[in-house]
A and B are shown apart, each in its own frame.
Chain A
Amino acid sequence: MEELIRFLGRVEIFKDCGRGTLEKIAGVCEEKRFGRGAIVYRTGDAPDCFYVLKQGAVSHPSVVGTRGSDDGLVRSPADLFGFAAVVEEMKRRVFTVECLEDTTVYAINGARLREILKMDPATGYAVMQRLAGLMAKAQGFVPARSGSLSIRHAGKIYDPEGIHVVAVEDCSFEVPAGGLCVVVGPSGCGKTTLLNTIAGFDNLTSGEVHLDGQLIAAPGRELKPGPDRIVVFQQGALFPWKTVLDNVTYGPIIQRKMKKKEAVAQALALMEKVGLAGIESQFPGEISSGMRRRVEIVRALVNDPKILLLDEPFRALDALTKSVMHEYLLELYDLSHKTIFFITHDLEEAIFLADLVVIMTTRPGRVKKLIAVDLPRPRTYRMLSSKRFLELKQQTIEGVHEEALKAFEAGERELA
């Protein structure tokens, strides 16, 4: 017993836990032996146990935060795998884990581990959060299955009363499923036009937009805005006459996808998970603007969209709140792996969030430059001063500045 507790103390994630908690965890540990080639669990199994490696090696991509090894396997003692057991909503295993040699592991029941951690207010919550983060990262090894967006030669001409305004012209780029694409450009360059077409509010005058291979916008095509691509608006569009909870459950209920009771239960669970518990019976007018933004993103995610469209969602927030919101969005992104189409004029924000930065020219909007951001995920604020980040920023600034000047000369005052 004493040996086990000492062993658990060596596990990096438990190292801040007090002795009492470690004792309790040791109490639910169960030692298991597997022969070479044995399967610990398969993809799709229901996750019940969380594993600490005692000895041996298994085929599970090692995750930053545990010790891991260079070859992407879990092989050093006190490494962890089977995170899905710790995250309450996970119904299925993401990986299949096979033993590469004779292996001994400690299996810890996920539900009981959660209970134990909840009873330790000092460090338990932090441990749980880290475990959930590791889970998200482990999931990150699995590519998203839907939400690949393809914009092909998109063009939009506004022609009210004979004034010929070309908003977007021959604009093409692809966003892979699960990618985070950020569009930057001067005001009036057709960013929002593009977003409106993807959302289905507005049509193109030439070109096509495909989502998962399905044509969603093309000249003459009937538009169908719907819950597979949800927009979070610049000014915020929570319904002020509905409580936070009613706002979040609006989608599932109006689509008749769920009964009210189910929708409420689901929404409360999700809000608890993302740190919004306790405000569900308030009206949007009663909570802070940062909170409102979070609620709005959660309202979109509840519907399980293929793609999330964000139209300068953090524009009105102060710098501090904004930085918190970035981390929050990335956390949600890591957890859900939705494709995200994000519009902004804040270059730092763009590079910090994106896999792909699309720089658009001033009117008529064309794609000027595509910048692939190769900063590793998860991203932290320390990266803002890393060399690679500054290089990317320099590239982006060069692209945008020229356009901003043109826009300015064309009489546009604001870079937006």
Chain B
Amino acid sequence: MSAAGFAKWALVLWTILCIGLGFFRFTDTTFPLNPPPGVHGELHIALQAMRAYQFWGAIWIAPAIGLFLLWRMKREVDDEPAVRRRRLERRQPLARRLGKTLLNVHTFRGVLGVLAVLIIWQLAQPLGVPIIKRIPPLSEVVMRFFDDRGLFWRDKYWAGWVISLFRIFSGFILALLIGVPQGLAWGLSRTLKSVSFPVFEIFRPIPPLAFLPAAIYLMPTAELSIIFVIFLGAYFTIVINTINGVYNVDKSMERAALSLGAKRSDVFWKVIFPGTLPSIITGATVGMGITWMVLVAAEMIAGRSGIGFLTWESYTAGDIPQVVVGMASMGVGGAICSAIIWRLGTNLTPWRRLF
């Protein structure tokens, strides 16, 4: 194996190992099946989780950076020389590429747009803009976030991030693991689809949140019910998109592959799967958005921790600036998750960068 391949796989394995070890710490109270009794049980676990990930994150970071650099520097060595040369010619130095992605007109416009909204928000109260003037201005929200009783200094806020992200990704990854194979199977087999699709279609219009009471009743813990509802939010979109993706793979591509000597299994892995990938990614992106919507509501109802719960708690305490802090946190969290999915998506489907 080449050095680049080794570095890449070592990085992947190391990351999985660290996430797994952190999760072990996380689960030493058999979370999420059996949390300890008491109102603050969940919070306790969230705090533990946060500390576990702080610990393992600190151990993870240095080797990860090393392996990443090794991979980037050593890769492409085993390619055909002519191809490699042309590819290198097309590639520009890192500094210029970074400059191009960060300092272009689009970023500038984006920053301008965000700034404009922030300014309107700040000035709405002094200027007396109807409705918006009742939102506490930006400065007050920021002050509330950083003052000595502000959420920035509270472990329960950062633990809320960890637990919320944990819920999101558990549900989301579960939805991918179940939804994508199911969508592929339904897309490929008419028989299978005609037997089971009507059932799916009956469940699909039910909003995920409507499942929440049933989930709380059915699931052994509240934690599992939250994850289940988040799973549902992403699952339906992913399945539908995957099925459509399979249908949209050009029939002549399959025939071309067969004509070039591919076997049936080759056709699946080399034609249908890559052909469906763009749709899967679209489904995942939309699904990720839905998980955030579902998360907050689920935490408000079934949870005792997490960002959604903190927002609700602040509201019941009448602390409106803190409500806005919670809302802004969710916005940032959702945007980061979408960016991750988008980034992974473009890396998995490099041919679509053209569009």
Q: Using a CB–CB distance below 8 Å, which chain A residues touch chain B?
A: 199-201, 225-227, 229-231, 233-235, 237, 239-241, 245, 250-251, 254-255, 257, 261, 264-265, 268, 278, 280-281, 283-286, 299-300, 303
Contact = CB atoms under 8 A, between A and B. Distances in A.
Contacts of B250: 235, 237
B354 A237 contact: no
A278 B252 contact: no
Nearest to B260: A251
Given A251-B261, A280-B83, A237 B255 contact: yes
A386 B315 CA distance: 88
B281 to A, nearest CB: 12
Nearest to B278: A241
B351 A237 contact: no
Contacts of B275: 241
B253 A239 contact: yes
Interface string B86-111: 11001000000000000000000000
Contacts of B355: 285
B260 to A, nearest CB: 4
B336 interface: no
A254 B350 contact: no
Contact of A250 (B82, B260, B277, B354): B260
Interface string B183-199: 00000000000000000
B86 to A, nearest CB: 5
Q: Which 10 A-B pairs have the closest CB atoms?
A: A237-B256, A255-B261, A227-B261, A251-B260, A241-B274, A283-B351, A233-B252, A225-B258, A237-B252, A285-B354
A285 B278 CA distance: 15
30 contacts: A199-B259, A200-B258, A225-B255, A225-B258, A225-B259, A226-B258, A226-B259, A227-B261, A230-B259, A233-B255, A235-B252, A239-B253, A239-B271, A239-B274, A241-B351, A245-B83, A250-B257, A251-B260, A254-B263, A254-B270, A255-B260, A257-B261, A264-B80, A264-B83, A265-B80, A278-B86, A281-B83, A281-B86, A283-B350, A286-B354
B319 interface: no
A311 to B, nearest CB: 9
A231 B256 contact: yes
Interface of B: 80, 82-83, 86-87, 90, 250, 252-253, 255-263, 266, 270-271, 274-275, 277, 349-351, 354-355
Contact of A231 (B87, B255, B262, B274): B255
Nearest to A267: B80
Given A227-B260, A235-B252, A239-B271, 5 more contacts: A239-B253, A239-B270, A251-B261, A281-B90, A303-B260
B259 A229 contact: yes
A226 B263 CA distance: 9
B354 to A, nearest CB: 5
Which of B83, B255, B256 has most chain A Cβ within 10 Å? Answer: B256
Nearest to A245: B83
A233 to B, nearest CB: 4
Nearest to A279: B86
A75 B252 CA distance: 52
Contacts of B80: 245, 261, 264-265, 268
A286 B355 CA distance: 10
B335 to A, nearest CB: 28
B151 to A, nearest CB: 45
